[in-house]
Structure 1
């Protein structure tokens, strides 16, 4: 078994300005095993484990009903996934993880071995056609059948490396005038600068209070510092189709839903589409603002641990009863997403789902639910850059403390 590597190093920002050496040593989270397995020792003993290898990932697409599961686990299992961020690996960054990150001041031994393996491989990836995301899985969950709900409790999301990347690419951010760089026709992995895209290398470090922060150096040498809140941008179940499922637009099966409230301590619910559910994850974010306006969050490789359970239709208590799309919750809120290419329609869908949820969960009238949402619920824009845009309602649980379970 490979041991985590403890790291203390200086990082160079995208402007070539050195940051301070880390005051706190960072534990690089290296691959635990080279294939999916049940861990029998170490910090994650008793957890099932899925690494990101050439046999357990897809690049640019989500698993569909024909995807071969990388591991089978019983309902109620705790599963730890090691994921690899696509940022630093893509063609407009040279499709050479070691070269890209070492050019930013990272030592070769501090670049994840899996990242090097992926970019050194002959794994096909079309920058213009395929999605950017590296997806790990899928996981077959025993007993999961169409009509059931897969309950995914997010126990922990841990950065694997002390750095990430924030990118803005032509035609993909909120503002069409950015990036303000010329794109040339001869752009390729061998000539990445010709894409004219912007990727800002961003180290992370602990501040004086022990809180992890992202560090953006500016031209003046002064730094913008912001706290981290790691979460998985992509989680979901396989769609019931034999067609390729692009990794960018989220849908009723989950996928690239990018809701930053689904961090450690939250729970996500997915309607099962195919036997075994075929759960997957990827696109780890160290932190993301609502909207994700430039295109990406602070993207970085992460280790995610989940408890994954099957809720049987007609037997187990399912929040909101019959779900036809993902649902989220954390200690304070119920989270009802709305997804559509049109942001206005995404808002309507989120509102309709919030009304349906409140009526089903608490037995109140639609008119009361609608009035409550207008008076007391915030609707947040998760992202506007993933083709399908997302808005989600944040329904405060404490407002319903007088209610008991609806039978």
Structure 2
């Protein structure tokens, strides 16, 4: 096992650990450790809400989830010799749920969760159709996931980190805050908001204290969106065997990682659409000096996908075009086309007995494939959703005999309106 550089005690909160991570992006957050090029190391990761979501049959915790706390990130890790303009090479060697802890109150201790966030607290890809909070709990048996809230389904988890990236420079951070603030100003009262401003409330900034803490907390960027440094990209193919090339913006690169997922569908469409968990990740780092200029990777990571792709061979695909539900034509709107494809898949699954929210949760958690299939044929984009048929313990393919009706059980917990 590689050396454990960031241990987490499951009996203590994220802020009460031997080493303190962070939940904001800023160049002045101190590294928790320094590694050398060519080194492998292990990192423990806490589930992104630090235990605020529970293994129960209620969705009130999703409704009231404290978004100001996320993400609970492990790091930063400084890399010896890394300078702005280099590329940081990160290999994902292994990852999984919390080792040797197959039961307990934390996600990753034998279980994980998927949530539909309410419109007033984050929303989701289909928030207009699903404005309320729902939750599904998934139990892990080895690599397999099943849920008492979505019966009739079992699939192999494709574990990956939802979030990994390097620290921004002061100039890049200022760019983020300026452009995201300008976007918010176009519709400042929108729910959910167009972007998240810096928020000192609940900020975790490693070992910073006093005036330094206050300054950084007021400037630091929230970790919710992906940006030029990588960040919360939620790419399900960041599995073991992945090699990522990150731009370096500060001396040491300052790599951070977290938001581990047991599984996820393309898009993580419910916002908390993956099966969220805590766990561990083993990394190996190296450097390509002056790699940003050499390869033209001045922003946004490039990567070689892992060698553990979805273990499925049969799919049922749904398509959508860029026409709204009320029949309004949009011009090559691929986002809308993907929404329509997802809605078609949800409607189809209800014919087998699933409640719409169960189908929505399933599309977020199961390893569906999402594709932009046509983006040039005016006026309609075409997007497709590929649903693996092998995850069901009954036949979901269309047939002359009609759909098999399953018992949906008690359904996914729904939170009452607060």
Query: Normalized against structure 2, the TM-score is what?
Result: 0.52
* Residue in structure 2 matched with residue 28 of structure 1 by the alignment: none
* Residue in structure 2 matched with residue 213 of structure 1 by the alignment: 144
Match of 2:255 among 279, 286, 308: 279
Structure 1: tracts of 5 or more residues without a match: 1-43, 94-99, 105-125, 182-196, 207-211, 334-342, 348-377, 382-390, 392-407
Counterpart CA distance in 2 for 1:200 and 1:379 is 22
- Aligned counterparts, 1:37-56, within 5 A: 44=1, 47-52=3-8, 53-54=14-15, 56=19
Q: Is the 8 A contact 1:165 1:201 kept in 2?
A: yes
Q: In the alignment, is residue 164 of structure 1 matched against residue 112 of structure 2? A: yes
Partner SS for 1:224:
coil
Match of 2:236 among 241, 247, 260: 260
Cα deviation digits, residues 100-153 of structure 1 (max 9, x gap): 34x57xxxxxxxxxxxxxxxxxxxxx9566253211110011000000011000
Which structure's residues are more often strand, by fraction?
Answer: 1
Partner SS for 1:67:
coil
Match of 1:240 among 163, 169, 176: 169
Q: Superposition RMSD on alpha carbons, in Å?
A: 3.3
Higher relative contact order (CA 8 A, sep 6+): 2
Change (3 A) 1:60 1:200: farther
Change (3 A) 1:201 1:129: closer
* Residue in structure 2 matched with residue 351 of structure 1 by the alignment: none
- Aligned counterparts, 1:58-207, within 5 A: 58=21, 60-62=23-25, 64-87=26-49, 89-90=51-52, 93=53, 100-101=54-55, 103=56, 130=68, 132-160=70-98, 161-171=109-119, 172-177=123-128, 179=130, 181=132, 197-206=133-142
Number of matched pairs: 244
Partner SS for 2:30:
coil
Aligned-residue offset at 1:323 = 3.6
Aligned-residue offset at 1:345 = 9.1
* Residue in structure 1 matched with residue 305 of structure 2 by the alignment: 330
Q: Is the 8 A contact 2:115 2:271 kept in 1?
A: yes
Match of 1:249 among 217, 225, 239: 225
Change (3 A) 1:344 1:313: farther
Counterpart CA distance in 1 for 2:83 and 2:73 is 22
The 10-residue stretch of structure 1 (242-251 or 150-159) with the greater mean CA deviation from structure 2:
242-251
Counterpart CA distance in 1 for 2:168 and 2:112 is 30
Match of 1:228 among 157, 160, 170: 157
Counterpart CA distance in 1 for 2:307 and 2:7 is 32
Q: Is the 8 A contact 2:166 2:253 kept in 1?
A: yes
Aligned-residue offset at 1:380 = 4.4
Partner SS for 1:130:
helix
Counterpart CA distance in 2 for 1:267 and 1:163 is 27
Counterpart CA distance in 2 for 1:325 and 1:85 is 25
